[in-house]
């Protein structure tokens, strides 16, 4: 178990009395991709893969941190000029600094931490890292910060200390997760709602294409620009439109001649995707997992053909899923690499995974990663 590993490493490094043990999970997003910056909905859930940290205040103004999985150690102070060199340590430092900027008096601590979330696979190991420290410090030092602000602290850490200009979904999911529930987050108003997700007889499995998202940032900016172009066109007729989320297909149709074919397709994907999230919510309330799966395939099609953020490896994994009769499958995350998320009937699971790995190996010479996940609780104290 993760917490016993952390316990023994903490004790080996720092000795003395045990600290508090906390964990914060990674996340999946069932549906709702490229909707966040369009003011739409995302639909994440926390998973049963976590970052676990033991933390004990040390009575100094220094942090002494041991990253068990990397077998690496860092020590740093709590002033801005103490920013550590090591990338992993910046997540901890950033959380401390963002708390201080908000007026909380962070104190030095000793910590050992370890996780079982694959790094860089799109399951947000970084948000789990921020969330576990934000949650733990808030608890140990009794700051009384609410979970939403803790998520903002994690997000600001990525922005200001890790060079990643992310939205709030990942930290939100890690902090607000609930077993058996997904969360529909409205990225325009930040309102959220829980929906039941208990797919009995199904498994959720991620298949990692092992393609890294290298194209992602320049292509991402082009997609954002397309969305802005279409918003500007729609706005000339419907001034109240602020985001694509505010428009329906009918308004997009009205401006068809004012925008490029490419921009039109991209907006068509986004408007469809916002609607699909709502359709999936309805389906879940009825327990209609076939419908959920169908929407996942529609998303994959849209991301691949309209938004053009898939790649050959991801399309292959999606095709294999379809061929095996998997209920739902789509690329998860921004695209250009990473995982597909698959809703698979229990009895099909092993055959699908086998076929997916074989196809990726034979066609692309890549060894797929396979991660089974269960929707679980958010950040919490373990001991």
Contacts to ligand ADP by CB under 6 A: 67, 69-70, 87-88, 91, 114-115, 119-126, 129
In the complex, least distance from residue 81 CB atom to Mg ion, rounded to whole angstroms: 26
Task: Tell me the angle at which helices 312-324 and 349-364 cross, rounded to the nearest 10 degrees.
Answer: 150
User: In this structure, how many other beta carbons lie within 10 angstroms of the beta carbon of residue 178?
Assistant: 15
170 carries an active-site annotation: yes
Which residues 299-338 are close enough to bind Mg ion by CB under 5 A? Answer: none
The residue among 70 and 249 lying less far from ligand ADP, judged by its C-beta, is 70
The residue among 94 and 115 lying less far from ligand ADP, judged by its C-beta, is 115
Q: What is the 3-state secondary structure (H, E, C) of 24-63?
A: EEEEEECCCCCCHHHCCEECEEEEEEEEEEEEEECCCCEE
What is the biggest distance separating any 2 CA atoms in the chain, rounded to whole angstroms?
A: 71
Please choose, out of 88-96, 125-133, 300-308, 350-358, the segment that lies near Mg ion by the rule CB under 5 A: 125-133
CA distance linking residue 312 with residue 266, whole number of Å: 19
205 binds, among Mg ion, ligand ADP, none (CB under 5 to 8 A by kind): none
Q: Which residues, other chains included, contact 225 with Cβ-Cβ below 8 Å and sequence gap of 6+?
A: none
Q: Which residues, other chains included, contact 102 with Cβ-Cβ below 8 Å and sequence gap of 6+?
A: 145, 149, 153
- Burial degree of 167 (CB within 10 A; 0-12, 13-18, 19+): middle
The residue among 112 and 267 lying less far from ligand ADP, judged by its C-beta, is 112
User: In this structure, how many other beta carbons lie within 10 angstroms of the beta carbon of residue 194?
Assistant: 14
Please choose, out of 26-34, 68-76, 118-126, 220-228, the segment that lies near Mg ion by the rule CB under 5 A: 118-126
Can you say how many angstroms the Cα of residue 220 is from the centroid of all Cα atoms in its chain? Answer: 17
Q: How far are the Cα atoms of 54, 69, 283, 289 from residue 286, in angstroms, in the given order?
A: 41, 42, 5, 9
120 binds, among ligand ADP, Mg ion, none (CB under 5 to 8 A by kind): ligand ADP
Please choose, out of 61-69, 121-129, 178-186, 229-237, the segment that lies near Mg ion by the rule CB under 5 A: 121-129
87 binds, among ligand ADP, Mg ion, none (CB under 5 to 8 A by kind): ligand ADP
129 binds, among ligand ADP, Mg ion, none (CB under 5 to 8 A by kind): ligand ADP
For residue 243, give both structure tokens: 């985001």
Q: How far are the Cα atoms of 14, 186, 291, 345 from residue 283, in angstroms, in the given order?
A: 51, 18, 6, 17
The residue among 55 and 348 lying less far from ligand ADP, judged by its C-beta, is 55
The residue among 4 and 165 lying less far from Mg ion, judged by its C-beta, is 165
In the complex, least distance from residue 115 CB atom to ligand ADP, rounded to whole angstroms: 4
Question: Which one of residues 38, 114, 126, 304 is an interface residue with Mg ion (CB under 5 A)?
Answer: 126
Question: Total residues at the site for Mg ion (CB under 5 A)?
Answer: 1
In the complex, least distance from residue 306 CB atom to ligand ADP, rounded to whole angstroms: 25
- Pick the catalytic residue: 36, 170, 246, 263? 170
Q: What is the strand order of the sheet 202-208 is part of?
A: 328-331, 339-345, 202-208, 369-373
The residue among 49 and 349 lying less far from ligand ADP, judged by its C-beta, is 49
67 binds, among Mg ion, ligand ADP, none (CB under 5 to 8 A by kind): ligand ADP
Can you say how many angstroms the Cα of residue 71 is from the centroid of all Cα atoms in its chain? Answer: 25
The footprint of Mg ion (CB under 5 A) covers 126
Active-site residue set: 170
């Amino acid at each position: 178990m993760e917490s016993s590993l952390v316990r023994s490493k903490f004790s080996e490094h720092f000795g003395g009395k045990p600290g508090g043990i906390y964990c914060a999970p990674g996340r999946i997003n069932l549906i709702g991709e490229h909707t966040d910056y369009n003011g739409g909905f995302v639909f994440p859930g926390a998973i049963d893969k976590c970052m676990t940290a033991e933390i004990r205040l040390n009575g100094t103004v220094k942090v002494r941190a041991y990253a068990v999985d990397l077998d690496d150690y860092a020590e740093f102070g709590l002033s801005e000029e103490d920013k550590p060199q090591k990338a992993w340590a910046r997540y901890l430092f950033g959380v401390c600094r963002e708390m201080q900027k908000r007026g909380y008096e962070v104190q030095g601590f000793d910590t050992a931490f370890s996780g079982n979330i694959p790094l860089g696979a799109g399951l947000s190991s970084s948000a789990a890292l921020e969330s576990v420290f934000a949650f733990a410090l808030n608890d140990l030092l009794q700051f009384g910060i609410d979970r939403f602000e803790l998520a903002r602290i994690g997000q600001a850490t990525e922005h200001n200390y890790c060079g990643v200009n992310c939205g709030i979904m990942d930290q939100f999911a890690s902090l607000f997760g609930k077993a058996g529930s997904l969360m529909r987050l409205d990225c325009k108003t930040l309102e959220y709602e829980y929906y039941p997700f208990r797919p009995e007889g199904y498994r959720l499995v991620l298949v990692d294409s092992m393609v890294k998202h290298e194209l992602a940032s320049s292509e991402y900016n082009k997609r954002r620009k397309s969305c802005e172009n279409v918003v500007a066109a729609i706005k000339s007729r419907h001034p109240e439109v602020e985001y694509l989320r505010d428009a329906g297909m009918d308004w997009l149709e009205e401006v068809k001649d004012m925008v490029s074919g490419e921009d039109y397709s991209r907006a068509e994907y986004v408007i469809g995707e916002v609607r699909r999230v709502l359709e999936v919510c309805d389906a879940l309330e009825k327990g209609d997992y076939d419908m959920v799966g169908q929407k996942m395939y529609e998303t994959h099609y849209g991301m691949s053909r309209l938004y053009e953020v898939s790649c050959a490896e991801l399309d292959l994994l999606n095709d294999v899923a379809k061929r095996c009769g998997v209920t739902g499958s789509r690329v998860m995350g921004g695209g250009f690499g990473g995982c597909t998320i698959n809703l698979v009937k229990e009895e099909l699971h092993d055959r699908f995974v086998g076929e997916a790995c074989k196809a990726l190996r034979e066609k692309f010479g890549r060894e797929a990663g396979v991660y089974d996940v269960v929707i679980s609780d958010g950040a919490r104290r373990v001991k």
